[in-house]
């Protein structure tokens, strides 16, 4: 289906939610996966993280605050996201500024995670060198015994929110004449819609 300006919603979040739902319904593997691109004093870096919804229009995700991505975002708050759903021929790119979410919000989300994921977050010093996988698995077992009920949220773990400056929607078309629509935030807080060359 062509992506036309005349049919596009004024609110980019309406279109994003529609495309995410379509990807889910079409059976896209891990439709909430997104590439997070950052840049720090070690240079640019990208990795996959999970989209965890919106907070007042900000894209939410969670990570270890000692990780490479965390160091990058402390160095340079600018970051980019990419969602790609091959099954629906859609891509969404997002660029904006990142900030940490409040500790209470991170703890609320952590409490909803499966116990195994909680223990893994507590056990892992993300991006640090490990002696072996066995050492990591032993640490998880030790923590499971130490916390038989509630697992505390690690102090070095929590949420990030990316506030978009622009959101671009890409739809595959024949002969590589793809559709690209970009929503950019005006100083008034409203969105400007533009078509980009494929």
Secondary structure string (H, E, C) spanning 40-89: ECCEEEEEEEECCCEECCEEEEEEECCCHHHHHHHHCCEEEEEEEEHHHC
Identify the CA nearest to 161 among candidates 55, 90, 36.
55
For the beta carbon of residue 187, count every other beta carbon within 10 angstroms. 5
Cβ distance 182 to 198 under 8 Å?
A: no
- In the block, residue with structure tokens 């500790």: 103
Query: Which residues are catalytic, by number?
Result: 176
- Residue 123: which H helix or E strand, with range? helix 115-123
Q: How far is CA 98 from CA 34, 53, 75, 82, 122, in A?
A: 15, 15, 11, 15, 23
């Amino acid at each position: 289906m062509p992506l036309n300006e005349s049919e596009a919603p004024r609110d980019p979040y309406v279109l994003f939610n529609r495309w995410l739902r379509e990807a889910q319904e079409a059976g896209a593997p891990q439709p909430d996966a997104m590439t997070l691109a950052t840049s720090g004093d070690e240079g640019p870096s990208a990795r996959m993280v999970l989209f965890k919804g919106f907070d007042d229009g900000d894209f939410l995700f969670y990570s270890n605050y000692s990780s490479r991505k965390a160091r990058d975002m402390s160095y340079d708050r600018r970051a980019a996201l990419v969602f790609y759903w091959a099954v629906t021929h859609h891509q969404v790119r997002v660029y904006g500024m990142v900030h940490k979410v409040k500790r209470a919000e991170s703890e609320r989300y952590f409490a909803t995670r499966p116990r195994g994921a909680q223990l893994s977050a507590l056990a892992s010093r993300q991006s640090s060198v490990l002696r072996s996988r066995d050492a990591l698995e032993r640490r998880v077992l030790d923590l499971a015994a130490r916390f038989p009920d509630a697992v505390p949220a690690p102090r070095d773990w929590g949420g990030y929110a990316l506030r978009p400056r622009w959101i671009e929607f890409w739809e595959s078309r024949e002969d590589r004449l793809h559709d690209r629509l970009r929503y950019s935030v005006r100083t008034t807080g409203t969105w400007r819609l533009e078509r980009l060359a494929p």
